[in-house]
Structure 1
Amino acid sequence: MNKDKVAVLTDSGGDIPKALLERYGIYQIPLRILYRDREYLDGVNISANTVYAMLPVEIPKTSLPDGAMIQSVFDRIKADGYEKVLVVCISSGLSGTCNVMKILGDAYEGLECFVLDTKNISIGSGFFALRAAQYLEQGMGWEELLQKMPAELPNSRVFFCVKTLEYLQKGGRIGLVAAAFGTALNLKPVISCNADGIYYTVGKALGRMQSIHKIETLAQQTAGDDEVELAIMHGGAPDEAELIRAELRKRIPKGKITVMGQISPALGVHTGPGLLGIGVFKKS
Structure 2
Amino acid sequence: MSRSVAVVTDSTAYLPQSVLEKYGVTSVPLTVVVDGTPLEDGTREAAESLVPALRRHAPVTTSRPSPETFLAAYRRAAERGASAVVSVHLSSEISGTHDAAVLAARRSPVPVRVVDSGTIGMALGFGVVSAAEVAASGGDLAESAEAAIIRTAATRAFFYVDTLDHLRRGGRINTAQALLGSALAVKPLLELRDGRIELREKVRTASRAIARLEELAVEHAGSGSVDVAVQHLAAGERADQLAERLAGRLSGLGELRVGEVGAVLGAHTGPGLLGAIVAPR
TM-score by length of 1: 0.92
Mapped to 2, the partners of 1:246 and 1:23 lie a distance apart of 26
The aligned counterpart of 1:233 is: 231
* Conserved? CA contact 2:231–2:274, under 8 Å: yes
* Conserved? CA contact 1:8–1:27, under 8 Å: yes
The aligned counterpart of 1:134 is: 133
Q: CA deviation at 1:280?
A: 0.5
- Opposite residue 134 of structure 1, the aligned amino acid is E
After alignment, is 44-53 or 79-88 more displaced? 44-53
* Conserved? CA contact 1:128–1:149, under 8 Å: yes
Q: CA deviation at 1:176?
A: 8.1
The aligned counterpart of 1:186 is: 185
After alignment, is 185-194 or 10-19 more displaced? 185-194
Greater RCO (CA < 8 Å, at least 6 residues apart): 1
Mapped to 2, the partners of 1:139 and 1:113 lie a distance apart of 17
The superposition leaves residues 26-58 of structure 1 with CA deviations (integer Å, 9 ceiling, x where unpaired) of 100000112453211112363323201112141
Alignment partner of 1:219 out of 217, 220, 237 = 217
User: Is residue 204 of structure 1 aligned with residue 202 of structure 2?
Assistant: yes
Q: CA deviation at 1:67?
A: 3.0
**Structure 1 216/82 Cα, relative in aligned 2: closer, same or farther at 3 Å?**
same
- Opposite residue 219 of structure 1, the aligned amino acid is A
* Conserved? CA contact 1:2–1:140, under 8 Å: no
| Unmatched 5+ stretches in structure 2 | none
Q: CA deviation at 1:193?
A: 1.1
Mapped to 1, the partners of 2:38 and 2:44 lie a distance apart of 10
Identical-residue share of aligned pairs (%): 30
**Structure 1 71/140 Cα, relative in aligned 2: closer, same or farther at 3 Å?**
closer
Report the 3-state secondary structure (helix = DSSP H, G, I; strand = E; otherwise coil) of the residue aligned with 2:182: coil
Mapped to 2, the partners of 1:152 and 1:43 lie a distance apart of 23
The aligned counterpart of 1:104 is: 104
The aligned counterpart of 1:8 is: 7
- Opposite residue 250 of structure 2, the aligned amino acid is I
The superposition leaves residues 40-87 of structure 1 with CA deviations (integer Å, 9 ceiling, x where unpaired) of 111236332320111214121100012332232222212211121100
| Unmatched 5+ stretches in structure 1 | none
The aligned counterpart of 1:161 is: 160
Mapped to 2, the partners of 1:177 and 1:202 lie a distance apart of 14
Mapped to 1, the partners of 2:198 and 2:5 lie a distance apart of 34
Q: CA deviation at 1:227?
A: 0.8
**Structure 1 274/133 Cα, relative in aligned 2: closer, same or farther at 3 Å?**
same
User: Is residue 94 of structure 1 aligned with residue 94 of structure 2?
Assistant: yes
* Conserved? CA contact 2:34–2:49, under 8 Å: no
User: Is residue 271 of structure 1 aligned with residue 269 of structure 2?
Assistant: yes
- Opposite residue 94 of structure 2, the aligned amino acid is L
Mapped to 2, the partners of 1:116 and 1:15 lie a distance apart of 17
Report the 3-state secondary structure (helix = DSSP H, G, I; strand = E; otherwise coil) of the residue aligned with 2:106: helix
**Structure 1 7/39 Cα, relative in aligned 2: closer, same or farther at 3 Å?**
same
Report the 3-state secondary structure (helix = DSSP H, G, I; strand = E; otherwise coil) of the residue aligned with 2:139: coil
* Richer in helix (by share): 2
Q: CA deviation at 1:147?
A: 3.7
Mapped to 1, the partners of 2:263 and 2:15 lie a distance apart of 13
Q: CA deviation at 1:2?
A: 7.7
Q: CA deviation at 1:154?
A: 2.2
The aligned counterpart of 2:23 is: 24
CA root-mean-square deviation: 1.9
